[in-house]
Amino acid sequence: MLRKINAFYVGIVMLTSILFISIVIPNLMPEPAIEQFRYHFDQKSLEIPPFSPSSDNWFGTDRNGKDLFYAIMDGAKYTIFFALVITFGRMLLSFIGGLVFKRLFLNNWVSGLLQGFQFVPQSLIVLLVLSPLYFYELRTDSFLSYTETLVIQLVVLIAAGIFPLAKIIAETADSLSQNDYVTCAKHMGSSSLQITIRHVLPHLWPRLFVLSGRQFSQVLTLMLHLAIYHLFIGGVKITSGQVHDQFNNYSTVSNEWTGLISMYHRELMLEPFVVMIPVVAYTLLILCVNIMTKSLEKSLDKQAIY
């Protein structure tokens, strides 16, 4: 099926290239030193961050002098890896739950309850659960380590999408089991397990791949929604913005892209390139995923026609 999908390969190549570069570059080159100012002797002028894109800093720097190219390259692998782990965890648990407890998810009461939760944003649920754990007082450190922070975030983000996704898988499996060949298999004495393995799963797998692509995009969107409220994947570092702490600065620990967008959103009216660079990178990632998902959907539609 995938051999005929050129667009799918384009998305795969783009996604793999981004991930490969993100792993290799930070290991080959050290992070550029932060420069608080630059003095140009020929022009007798003083320049302070943020520095515009140049041969020294390909993407420029932020207001603290941090190199944006290194930050983008370093954060790409975390953004992709976190989204992949959350998507895989959701798909695996929802697949098992949707097939094992199919009758439960098809029950009118349970289905109606889950249908109502679809109108509640997942970002709101996750924010209410995680905020008390990660927003600590200024001048104090978080009581959770980096690993503990990451594990709790992954568990909550996975759990937030399991039940709606399991409902979709259960409904899809039930729809496939209504086909005529499945009915014939039932009359011939096939068990539910045999019907699931031989007749439902072969037609369910392609739909699961499409559903995985949609989930990946939804997880990236969810990460961006959480980042707007300073809840960054991997943890948040809170520092004082002024002497008397009237304003706080929220920084991402892992350099993941949604955290960078949230960190630099104030620069939109001051130095737009600082925030637009992570925005463009995030947009390209969404584009890669959508290209692959749309290609799979078209292939699935063609198979349904024939």
Evaluate whether 33 touches 66 at the Cβ level (below 8 Å): no
What digits encode the pLDDT tens for the residues 170-185? 888 888 887 777 777 7
Evaluate whether 76 touches 21 at the Cβ level (below 8 Å): yes
Does residue 1 have a pLDDT over 50? no
Q: Within its chain, how far is the Cα of 294 from the centroid? A: 18
User: Helix (H, G, I), strand (E, B), or coil: what is residue 144?
Assistant: coil
Number of other residues whose CB lies within 10 A of the CB of residue 225: 17
Tell me how far apart the alpha carbons of residues 91 and 169 are, in angstroms, rounded to a whole number.
Answer: 9
Burial (Cβ within 10 Å: 0-12, 13-18, ≥19) of residue 23? middle
Using a pLDDT cut of 70, give the percent of the chain over it.
87
**Measuring CA to CA, which residue among 294, 296, 259, 297 is closest to residue 278?**
259
Amino acid, single-letter form, for residue 174? D
User: Helix (H, G, I), strand (E, B), or coil: what is residue 47?
Assistant: strand
At residue 305, the pLDDT reads 47
At residue 173, the pLDDT reads 87
At residue 258, the pLDDT reads 94
Average pLDDT, whole number, for the chain? 83
Tokens of 159: 């759990």
Q: Which pLDDT band holds residue 85 (cuts at 50, 70, 90)?
A: very high
Inter-CA distances, 192 with 93, 99, 198, Å:
20, 11, 10
**Stated pTM of the model:** 0.86
At residue 187, the pLDDT reads 67
At residue 180, the pLDDT reads 74
What digits encode the pLDDT tens for the residues 15-49? 889 999 999 988 888 888 888 877 766 666 677 88
If you average pLDDT over residues 107-135, what whole number do you get? 80
Does residue 113 have a pLDDT over 80? no
Amino acid, single-letter form, for residue 122? Q
Flag the least confident range among 71-85, 217-231, 238-252.
238-252
**Measuring CA to CA, which residue among 77, 59, 300, 104 is closest to residue 202?**
300
